[in-house]
A and B are shown apart, each in its own frame.
Chain A
């Protein structure tokens, strides 16, 4: 602890390069939201303006339906994932049965699977079942990977919770609901919040699975994709992108801080 060791120069260059590669494109998107050139992304921008924010707000009603659809899908898929993922984690963390690890793996698999596989298989499944493609098919598609995120967060916390705290609570006179409220939720609350936020962010900008499971409607990411082909008012897309960056960054950062704090208290209680 006497002095912070300095990383070798090569490593520092590599780390800086990696960070630039990751974040410069984001910066470019933000810069282009203010450019005066509307037909192509020209660098450096010939001039800066904030008029696209006004145009996006008042002159482009086609932004709103995809935005609301995305928010709606993300919200429902997250709620669904919170309920199902938490129950699955609660069950699997306490039960001991043959094939438990396999079931656990099956829960996590959808996130490792390429989205295109998930998309195609869901599409054919919906076809076979005769389901019309709608908001709900998108929600189901998103729920497949949202459940994983919630499940993974919750099961780690459930394992730490152990059965004894629940028994202790019941022993002290609390029924199931009181135990859930006073003991289980405080223990897993931050994990659920973090899992839910990650799930929301994942769903909000999902393209591939959505392409396969959406009907005529488009979610915000799909709307942006279609905007890129059109030459008109290009920076409006960037304005929306800036909005998306902000709305997804905030929950992800919060989730990061919440789980970090959770690990800290978890570590000190042992």
Chain B
């Protein structure tokens, strides 16, 4: 069996009193496009910095392709980073930026210039060598940062909020390109994001972080369809999290359960729930039109339930009574005491 590209063995990292990373164990397979997803301060960026070598674990170990990285400084790791603010050297041209790592390795000028040109062509910036970082747009700077990292042929490429600073249109385009690039190169990519949509659409696997711990690791479908904890259910796709008593009355539990808004349908007055479904009457508190769907906030049994129904599927009058129904199987049991 080949060793994982990156392995966290019970890693902890403290900053003063705060445990930024708290007992994380994780294997990232070679060639994966892996996302670390979590809110601000959840420890995901610290984990990225631990792989890069900017931080060292207080406890536990990190292995990169089977080799312990304990105490290795960043410049002795075959791992490169694309920084959130790109961190291009302002006193160098684009070409010099990209060739920097090769120059440090002692590669001759002609060879490193041709490699830098290749890397720039790969990120669609052919002929940009002589420009300065200040003359580039945000998207172009990111491509330079990518080329500067990839030209060193790293074993693992780390990306810190790679799309965070780009506008929506560019973000979607870069998502595609990053995925294609990763597939073509076969290099392990690990990226950090707080955007669940980005993580789900780009990654092969996702680790969801909260308060320094990993809540769940799995494929995007896994974490979306089968969230393990209340945090994951809520953070990934804003599921309804039903308390054990209500879930028990609905025939699932008594346990905390997750219920995706789009699994809920509206029943017409007097219409009975199909076999294997449950239903709940509630009062419509608000509705927000979101193009393809309308999100309804319904107060039922003292809790607020969000339902996403196809736009125009029902007359929506705030204050009216609605009957919500969903398959029993749509309620996913969550970990944790009832």
Binding site for B on A (CB under 8 A): 162, 164-165, 167-175, 178, 182-183, 186-187, 265, 268-270
Decide: B133 and A269 in contact? CB cutoff 8 A: yes
Who on chain B is nearest to A175 by CB? B75
Decide: A165 and B87 in contact? CB cutoff 8 A: yes
Decide: A173 and B91 in contact? CB cutoff 8 A: no
Question: In the assembly, what is the distance between CA of A175 and CA of B74, in Å?
Answer: 9
Decide: A170 and B87 in contact? CB cutoff 8 A: no
Nearest Cβ distance between residue B205 and chain A, in whole angstroms?
24
- Fill in one digit per residue for B90-111: 1 if any A CB lies within 8 Å of its CB, else 0: 1100000000110011000000
Picked from A178, A268, A269, the residue with its CB within 8 Å of the CB of B104 is A178
Question: In the assembly, what is the distance between CA of A164 and CA of B73, in Å?
Answer: 15
Known contacts A164-B85, A172-B148; A269 and B54 CB within 8 A of each other: no
A165 neighbours in B (Cβ, 8 Å): 87, 89-90
Q: Offer 18 A-B interface pairs, CB within 8 angstroms, sorted by A.
A: A164-B87, A167-B81, A168-B83, A168-B88, A169-B89, A170-B74, A171-B75, A172-B100, A172-B101, A172-B104, A172-B149, A174-B75, A175-B75, A178-B104, A186-B91, A269-B90, A269-B132, A269-B134
B148 neighbours in A (Cβ, 8 Å): 172
Known contacts A172-B148, A269-B133, A269-B134; A167 and B75 CB within 8 A of each other: no
Picked from A167, A170, A187, the residue with its CB within 8 Å of the CB of B91 is A187
In the A-B complex, the 10 residue pairs with the closest CB atoms: A172-B101, A168-B87, A164-B87, A269-B90, A170-B74, A269-B134, A173-B104, A186-B91, A174-B104, A171-B81
Question: In the assembly, what is the distance between CA of A171 and CA of B105, in Å?
Answer: 12
Known contacts A164-B83, A172-B80; A183 and B75 CB within 8 A of each other: no
The reply on B12 being an interface residue by CB < 8 A is no
Question: In the assembly, what is the distance between CA of A178 and CA of B89, in Å?
Answer: 14
Who on chain A is nearest to B158 by CB? A171
A182 neighbours in B (Cβ, 8 Å): 100, 104
Decide: B105 and A173 in contact? CB cutoff 8 A: yes
Decide: A170 and B83 in contact? CB cutoff 8 A: no
Nearest Cβ distance between residue A192 and chain B, in whole angstroms?
14
Question: In the assembly, what is the distance between CA of A218 and CA of B266, in Å?
Answer: 97
Q: Which chain B residues in 46-60 approach chain A with CB under 8 Å?
A: 52-54
The reply on B258 being an interface residue by CB < 8 A is no
The reply on B193 being an interface residue by CB < 8 A is no
Known contacts A164-B83, A178-B104, A269-B134; A172 and B90 CB within 8 A of each other: no
Question: In the assembly, what is the distance between CA of A164 and CA of B148, in Å?
Answer: 15
Who on chain A is nearest to B77 by CB? A171
Q: Which chain B residues in 149-203 approach chain A with CB under 8 Å?
A: 149, 152
Known: A164-B83, A165-B87, A172-B80. 17 other contacts (CB 8 A): A164-B85, A164-B87, A167-B54, A167-B74, A167-B83, A168-B81, A168-B89, A169-B100, A171-B54, A171-B74, A171-B79, A172-B75, A172-B101, A173-B105, A174-B75, A174-B100, A183-B89
Question: In the assembly, what is the distance between CA of A168 and CA of B80, in Å?
Answer: 9
Decide: B90 and A265 in contact? CB cutoff 8 A: yes
Who on chain A is nearest to B105 by CB? A173
Question: In the assembly, what is the distance between CA of A168 and CA of B85, in Å?
Answer: 11
Question: In the assembly, what is the distance between CA of A170 and CA of B81, in Å?
Answer: 10
Pick the most buried of A172, A174, A187: most chain B CB atoms within 10 A of its CB: A172
Question: In the assembly, what is the distance between CA of A148 and CA of B238, in Å?
Answer: 55
B80 neighbours in A (Cβ, 8 Å): 171-172
A178 neighbours in B (Cβ, 8 Å): 104
Nearest Cβ distance between residue A176 and chain B, in whole angstroms?
9
Decide: A167 and B104 in contact? CB cutoff 8 A: no
Who on chain A is nearest to B88 by CB? A168
Nearest Cβ distance between residue B167 and chain A, in whole angstroms?
19
Q: Which chain B residues in 22-71 approach chain A with CB under 8 Å?
A: 52-54
Question: In the assembly, what is the distance between CA of A268 and CA of B104, in Å?
Answer: 27
Nearest Cβ distance between residue A7 and chain B, in whole angstroms?
34
Nearest Cβ distance between residue B257 and chain A, in whole angstroms?
44
Who on chain B is nearest to A174 by CB? B104
- Fill in one digit per residue for B190-230: 1 if any A CB lies within 8 Å of its CB, else 0: 00000000000000000000000000000000000000000
A268 neighbours in B (Cβ, 8 Å): 134
Question: In the assembly, what is the distance between CA of A170 and CA of B132, in Å?
Answer: 21
Nearest Cβ distance between residue B42 and chain A, in whole angstroms?
21
Question: In the assembly, what is the distance between CA of A162 and CA of B148, in Å?
Answer: 19
Decide: A173 and B152 in contact? CB cutoff 8 A: yes
B79 neighbours in A (Cβ, 8 Å): 171
Decide: B73 and A170 in contact? CB cutoff 8 A: yes
A171 neighbours in B (Cβ, 8 Å): 52, 54, 74-75, 79-81, 149
Question: In the assembly, what is the distance between CA of A118 and CA of B229, in Å?
Answer: 66
Question: In the assembly, what is the distance between CA of A186 and CA of B90, in Å?
Answer: 10
Decide: A173 and B133 in contact? CB cutoff 8 A: no
Question: In the assembly, what is the distance between CA of A66 and CA of B248, in Å?
Answer: 96
Who on chain A is nearest to B81 by CB? A171
B81 neighbours in A (Cβ, 8 Å): 167-168, 171
Question: In the assembly, what is the distance between CA of A168 and CA of B100, in Å?
Answer: 10
Picked from B52, B73, B132, the residue with its CB within 8 Å of the CB of A175 is B73
B132 neighbours in A (Cβ, 8 Å): 269
A265 neighbours in B (Cβ, 8 Å): 90-91
Picked from A168, A172, A175, the residue with its CB within 8 Å of the CB of B152 is A172
A174 neighbours in B (Cβ, 8 Å): 75, 100, 104
Question: In the assembly, what is the distance between CA of A269 and CA of B132, in Å?
Answer: 9
